[in-house]
Amino acid sequence: MVLRSVGNTVRLLPTLLSLGTVVGWAPNTTAADERPNIVLIVADDMGFADMGMFGGEIRTPNLDALARQGVRFTNFYTTTTCSPTRAMMFSGTDTHIAGLGNMEEMVAPNQRGVPGYEGVLNDRVVAFPQLLRDAGYHTYMTGKWHLGKEPDKIPAARGFERDFTILQGAGSYFDDTGLNMRSPKSIFTRDGKYLTKLPKNFYATRTYTDEMIEFIESNRGDGKPFFAYVAHQAPHDPFHLPKDWLRRYEREYDQGWDVTRRQRLGRMIELGIIPEGTRPSERMWFLPAAANLAPGARAIMARKMELYASMVENMDHHIGRLIEYLKSTGEYENTLFIFFSDNGPEGTDLGAMLRGRAGSENFLFHAIKWSQTHPDAWGRAGSYVGYGAAWAQVSATPFRLYKGWLAEGGIRSPLVVSGAGVRQPAGSINHGLMHVMDVAATILDIAGVDHPSNYNGREVAPLQGKSWKTMLAGDAESPRGSEDWLGWELWGNRAIRKADWKLLWMHKPMGIADWELFNLREDPAETQDLASQHPEKVRELLALWDEYVTTNNVIIPDRHMFESLEDALPVRVPVSEGWPPMNFKRPFVPPKELLDEGSGG
Amino acid sequence: MTTRFLWIVWGLVLVATVPARSAFAQGDGPRTHWKEMLTDTNIFSLTYMHASGNVDPLDPALRIQPGADFELDLALVGYSRSFALFGQTAIATLLLPVGELQGETTGPLATSDSARGFGDPVLQLDLNLIGAPAMRNMPDLLRYEPDFTLDLVVTLGIPIGEYDNDSLTNIGQNRWYGRVGLPLMINLGDWVPGHRTTLEFMPAVWFFADNDDFLGQTLENDPLFQLEGHLTRDFTRDFWGSLDAVYYAGGESTIGGLSGGELGDLAVGFTAGFQINDNLMLTAGYTATVDDGMDDLDLGVFRINLIFGWHELLEGIDRLGGG
């Protein structure tokens, strides 16, 4: 009896073993092992043309290496400021649904209390890191959050297993000095707790990288893939740098913004980022030609761009450290890298805006905390330096305008995707129409995770973004077809893009407070309004705008930050290069042979 | 914004770093050899000095006269101009002392005497060797951020001042004298107005020709070694202070073949500097020797300086109202 039982058992053993494999006796990580790590790096306020492989002269060897190994995308869109972009990135749907229909700082009276306008990432959406975590990914975040400060809104509540973040939109890079009286201290979290003390020798860009490396290292070898989101504060102002980074670009921008912009344009054409013959947008009418500035004034203005360039290179340096770490641990080959900027470069004097007028509480705050105004102090703690509209135009080359506006300069972002799963030719450039809402769809698709219609007992908005997985695999040119379109609205500015056409409404004086039509293939800098020549196209795109408003419950704000801008700026006039001649012509020098010293007497 | 802001910046750097030139063995004072200025900058200085002790304060050799008590009230008028030399910043200075010196000696040959009038004019060349290239334009000046500077100072006293060969008390020295020094500055922090901290040293050697008409005898002096040190610090953008020390060694005097002792003395003190406006700075300071004994050097010096600096470019911007 015993022998027969043993024999029966022995015969059953292979079956039993195979059953164990199917049922999951083998570790769950067998399936997870095949899924790639995903590193998502988002820069803050970096321009389309800043990094080397997009035509910039700023030294970004690590980002350039990712671009050489991967793909650059030239028609990738965000929206025009930080938190709405980040809301769309995490939710995969429009910002007016996800809670950032307006920024927390600017919600208009007619938007208050309306779902989608909470100023935080709301519960009508599920953040994709939550879904990744549920599906067995480690989820890590360092850097800027800007999507809510309450305990149920911070990163730990939205799917991040580990986090080290600044909750506000900006602040000092050296400590927790905040930006105004209503936000005097930057609030940091670490692993779901609000920090009362920052790490020793804190410097934002470096510390965010250090913390991320520590997070990844802490679970290395457990077989689970990770999603690492590094939301750099850089190069958002104030420009703050360690001492040995302050002078790296000394004298490199003394030529001025006009020359630098032309040089970038040339390189962008050479690289194939933009087509031959692309005309850049005109210099803003309230900016002087750099050639008309005295050398000292040009040096002062150049100093700001020198600091900005150092900020970008410093960020690239720390991105390189993360990449090197992943290479050293053998994780690099199985990692997908996604890099972009959250919106266009900052051309507004944010420091002046935050400071307000003398006598205000914010002015007092800045007098105490942000009054290191001497040029020798720029870049150091206590200084608030941004680089202004002229250099922002350089960053946004060849496009018009910058952050805060829905012209291309405010919403066209440099996107690099590289690494695991990317089969398009290394170093190639793709011009397909893409949007930041696609990030959630793409990452979930790559991770093999479905986006639910319900989460934790609540209905959640469906994805509007499109996955890039097929395109990255080389099986498609673009995630969108010719009938697909995109829409934007922020602070009353509005835009629709379909194929090569863009319908744009912007407040005066940057726009005309009416719809303008541009053909972006022929005129990427939006210099020629074709609305009167193509009324049928205007009607077509207006219908899409109406659909956009209805689908996403867009409410045009009854108050916005551009209300008095037309009065504050000089009257808008055309900008003609080299005009007036009296400011540009060379001094007359008489011919030597006709000189006469005069006879005197 | 731009031109007005620059005007302010220029003004501050024009004067804030140029305390009065002083070329006596009491020491030059803190921040005297800073070079943060455009070439062709003009500086006018007016110094009042009160000194007392057992030496003639105007004697660069600091020849001790035991039992003597000297009191000096001196005004020093100076003009300096910066220029480029060998690609570096250089400053040429002319100083003219005028004042009154009273002296009393005790003992069997007690005397009481005074002298008043013009002293020996002093010429000085201060040439930067390391760290301060000539700054010919605003971009150069804006980028000046020294970690370390080293200069060469050459000073010459011209013996044409008031002199009475029958008196111990004279404003002039009746002999040629000069100095070679190597001032150096180490920047200890950020080079940002309001935050600057520097450590400064000046080793120097004074040389003396003979005075062959000193009370009917010949006065000779060995070289005098001097080491000056300062720790300076900005308290605000317009106010700074310094702790000062000067050490003297050597300088043995011989009169009619009879030699006195060598110096080996230390003086300590402090200085404060105030930026009154974009062109005008005031400094005040006091140093006194540390008294180890009766025969040691005993000298206390109080100085107050007004320095006015100007540059043609700055004046033009000012006339235009700053833009």
Kindly indicate the confidence band of residue A4, based on its pLDDT and cuts at 50, 70 and 90.
very low
**Given the DSSP bridges, would you call strands A226-231 and A37-43 parallel, antiparallel or unpaired?**
parallel
pTM: 0.90
Q: Nearest C-alpha of chain B: how many angstroms from A405? A: 25
Taking CA atoms, A44 is separated from A146, A237, A507, in Å, by 12, 9, 24
Whether A247 has its CB under 8 Å from any CB of chain B: the answer is yes
Q: Is the pLDDT of residue B215 over 90?
A: no
Contacts B7 to A, Cβ<8 Å:
none
Calculate mean pLDDT across residues A297-319. Answer: 97
Calculate mean pLDDT across residues B52-57. Answer: 82
Q: Which helix (H) or strand (E) holds A84?
A: helix A82-91
- The whole-angstrom separation of Cα A62 and Cα A371 is 35
Q: Is A26 helix (H, G, I), strand (E, B) or coil?
A: coil
Calculate mean pLDDT across residues A6-15. Answer: 38
Helix axes B312-319 and B2-16, enclosed angle (nearest 10) = 140
- The whole-angstrom separation of Cα B206 and Cα B154 is 10
| pLDDT value at residue A17 | 38
Q: Is the pLDDT of residue B20 over 60?
A: no
Contact A377 B9 (CB under 8 A): no
Output the DSSP codes for B226-243: EEEEEEEEEEETTEEEEE
Interface of B with A (CB under 8 A): 2-3, 5-6, 9, 137-139, 141-143, 145, 190-195, 237
Of B79, B71, B83, B78, which Cα lies nearest the Cα of B35?
B83
Give the active site residue among A82, A236, A240, A318. Answer: A82
- The whole-angstrom separation of Cα A586 and Cα A159 is 63
Rounded to a whole number of angstroms, the CA Rg of chain A reads: 27
CATH code for the domain in which residue B125 is found: 2.40.128.130
Calculate mean pLDDT across residues A206-212. Answer: 98
Size of interface A-B (CB pairs under 8 A): 55
| pLDDT value at residue B269 | 96
Q: Is A534 an annotated catalytic residue?
A: no
- Count of domains in chain A? 1
Average pLDDT, chain A: 93
Does residue A580 lie in a domain region?
no
Q: Is the pLDDT of residue A32 over 60?
A: no
Kindly indicate the confidence band of residue B170, based on its pLDDT and cuts at 50, 70 and 90.
confident
Q: What percent of chain B has pLDDT over 90?
A: 59
| pLDDT value at residue B259 | 83
A91-149 pLDDT, tens digit each = 999 999 999 999 998 999 999 999 999 999 999 999 999 999 999 999 999 999 999 99
**Given the DSSP bridges, would you call strands B148-157 and B177-181 parallel, antiparallel or unpaired?**
antiparallel
Calculate mean pLDDT across residues B154-178. Answer: 91
For residues B18 and B194, which has the higher predicted lDDT (pLDDT)? B194
Q: Is A236 an annotated catalytic residue?
A: no
Q: Is the pLDDT of residue A23 over 90?
A: no
CB A221 within 8 A of CB A27: no
ipTM of the complex, rounded to two decimals: 0.84
A330-339 pLDDT, tens digit each = 999 999 999 9
Does residue A514 lie in a domain region?
no
Contact A375 B9 (CB under 8 A): yes
Interface of A with B in 279-338 (CB under 8 A): 293-301, 303
A338-360 pLDDT, tens digit each = 999 999 999 999 999 999 999 99
Half-sphere exposure of A291 (CA within 13 A, CB side): 14
Q: Is B284 helix (H, G, I), strand (E, B) or coil?
A: strand
Q: Is the pLDDT of residue A555 over 70?
A: yes
**Parent domain of B221:** 2-319
Of A294, A358, A346, which Cα lies nearest the Cα of B5?
A294
A39-71 pLDDT, tens digit each = 999 999 999 999 999 999 999 999 999 999 999
Q: What percent of chain A has pLDDT over 90?
A: 90
CB A178 within 8 A of CB A188: no
Kindly indicate the confidence band of residue B15, based on its pLDDT and cuts at 50, 70 and 90.
very low
Half-sphere exposure of A452 (CA within 13 A, CB side): 17
- Count of domains in chain B? 1
Neighbour order of strands in the sheet with B258-259: B211-214, B217-221, B253-255, B258-259
Contacts A376 to B, Cβ<8 Å:
145, 190-193
Contacts A374 to B, Cβ<8 Å:
9, 192-194, 237
Kindly indicate the confidence band of residue A213, based on its pLDDT and cuts at 50, 70 and 90.
very high
Q: B313 CB contacts (<8 Å, ≥6 apart)?
A: B10, B38
For B84, counting Cβ atoms within 10 Å of its Cβ (0-12 exposed, 13-18 middle, 19+ buried), the class is middle
Write the residue in B142, B192, B237 that is nearest to A299 by C-beta: B142
- The whole-angstrom separation of Cα A128 and Cα A149 is 19
**Parent domain of A398:** 31-478
Calculate mean pLDDT across residues B246-251. Answer: 91
Positive or negative, the CA dihedral B119, B64, B208, B150 is negative
Helix, strand, coil tally for chain A in percent (to 5): 35, 15, 50
Half-sphere exposure of A268 (CA within 13 A, CB side): 28
CATH code for the domain in which residue A387 is found: 3.40.720.10
Q: B116 CB contacts (<8 Å, ≥6 apart)?
A: B99, B100, B101, B162, B171
CB B318 within 8 A of CB B14: no
Give the active site residue among A96, A138, A146, A318. Answer: A146
B291-313 pLDDT, tens digit each = 766 567 788 899 999 999 999 88
Kindly indicate the confidence band of residue B108, based on its pLDDT and cuts at 50, 70 and 90.
low
Q: Nearest C-alpha of chain A: how many angstroms from B139? A: 5
Average pLDDT, chain B: 86
| pLDDT value at residue A31 | 47
Does residue A466 lie in a domain region?
yes
Kindly indicate the confidence band of residue A320, based on its pLDDT and cuts at 50, 70 and 90.
very high
| pLDDT value at residue B167 | 81
Kindly indicate the confidence band of residue B24, based on its pLDDT and cuts at 50, 70 and 90.
low
Calculate mean pLDDT across residues A212-237. Answer: 97
Q: Is the pLDDT of residue B22 over 50?
A: no
Nearest-by-CA chain A residue for B144: A376
Q: What percent of chain B has pLDDT over 70?
A: 88
Write the residue in B5, B137, B192 that is nearest to A295 by C-beta: B137
For residues B54 and B291, which has the higher predicted lDDT (pLDDT)? B54
Q: Is B152 helix (H, G, I), strand (E, B) or coil?
A: strand
Kindly indicate the confidence band of residue A419, based on its pLDDT and cuts at 50, 70 and 90.
very high
Q: Is the pLDDT of residue A27 over 80?
A: no
Of B8, B2, B77, B70, which Cα lies nearest the Cα of B314?
B8
Least confident of A238-242, A247-251, B217-221, B261-265: B261-265
